[in-house]
């Protein structure tokens, strides 16, 4: 299998971490949605990442679709998403909230990357910030609610993987870990996850290139 996209994207990284946890080997194409846009479009007409090319040449083009394939490959006993019932519904809820937080963070970065200062719309940015922090606050509440190490049940699930990847991304890209809002539950979850080799091996801090602080998105690419 070939995974396309840069590991500083939380959408790409959650796939890479899941492959590592499930012991599914993959090749990596470190392609940027900026400079490698046309290469990526050969596998995803939208030019977005992640994309995963299967051994038979089929290309999967969304992180959720890729993760569904990985879980199907390893079977329900090893799958990172619970198979059914309340645990599955709660995991899907956590994943949806986490992905929403990531998307609202990316929109803030896009505003800085693609609009000159005089054309940025502060009410829109404030709305995105409020939505992002609202999502993070709910994830933090869930993380603190559980007495064990993981958000759902007694083992790591896709809820933990996605929440941790998103929180790390937002801390790197928007410095939410140093904002006026404190997220102790997410901070602890993130630390547990980032200590695992499955996470460490695909950890690439989100860094802005030289020039405009907002240019990071156009050059590196956090596309879903």
Let me know the angle formed at the C-alpha of 138 by 123 and 176, rounded to the nearest 5 degrees.
55
CATH of domain 2-74: 3.40.30.10
Query: What is the β-pairing status of strands 2-4 and 27-29?
Result: parallel
Instruction: Locate the DSSP E strands across 108-160.
Output: none
Question: Thinking of the domain 85-202, which architecture would CATH place it in?
Answer: Up-down Bundle (1.20)
| Segment 206-211 long-range contacts (CB within 8 Å, at least 24 positions apart) | 206/8, 206/169, 206/172, 206/173, 207/8, 207/172
**Backbone region of residue 84 per phi and psi (left: phi > 0; alpha: psi in -120 to 50; beta: other values):** beta
Return residue ranges of the chain for CATH 1.20.1050.10. Answer: 85-202
Residues in the chain: 224
Residues 72-111 have pLDDT tens digits of: 999 999 999 999 999 999 999 999 999 999 999 999 988 8
Residues 6-65 have pLDDT tens digits of: 999 999 999 999 999 999 999 999 999 889 999 999 999 999 999 999 999 999 999 999
Split at pLDDT 50, 70, 90, the class of 118 is confident
Can you tell me whether residue 61 is helix, strand or coil?
coil
Rounded to two decimals, the pTM is: 0.91
Residues 182-197 have pLDDT tens digits of: 899 999 999 999 999 9
Q: What is the pLDDT of residue 111?
A: 84
At 62, give phi and psi (nearest 5°).
Answer: -150, 145
Return residue ranges of the chain for CATH 3.40.30.10. Answer: 2-74
Burial class of residue 182 in the structure, from the number of CB atoms within 10 Å of its CB (0-12 exposed, 13-18 middle, 19+ buried): exposed
């Amino acid at each position: 299998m070939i995974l396309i996209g840069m590991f500083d994207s939380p959408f790409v990284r959650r796939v890479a971490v899941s492959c590592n946890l499930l012991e599914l080997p993959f090749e990596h194409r470190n392609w940027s949605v900026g400079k490698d846009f046309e290469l990526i479009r050969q596998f995803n007409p939208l030019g977005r990442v992640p994309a995963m090319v299967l051994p038979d040449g089929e290309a999967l083009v969304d992180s959720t679709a890729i993760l569904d394939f990985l879980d199907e490959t390893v079977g329900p006993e090893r799958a990172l998403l619970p198979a059914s019932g309340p645990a599955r519904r709660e995991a899907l809820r956590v994943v949806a909230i986490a992905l929403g937080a990531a998307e609202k963070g990316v929109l803030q970065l896009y505003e800085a990357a693609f609009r000159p200062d005089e054309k940025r719309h502060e009410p829109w940015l404030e709305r995105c910030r409020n939505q992002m922090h609202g999502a993070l606050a709910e994830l933090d509440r869930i993380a603190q609610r559980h007495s064990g190490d993981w958000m759902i049940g007694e083992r790591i699930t896709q809820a933990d993987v996605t929440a941790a990847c998103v929180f790390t991304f937002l801390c790197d890209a928007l410095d939410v870990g140093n904002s006026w809002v404190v997220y102790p539950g997410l901070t602890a979850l993130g630390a547990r996850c980032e200590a695992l080799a499955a996470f460490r091996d695909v950890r690439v801090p989100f860094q802005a290139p030289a020039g405009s602080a907002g240019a990071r998105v156009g050059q590196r690419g956090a596309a879903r």
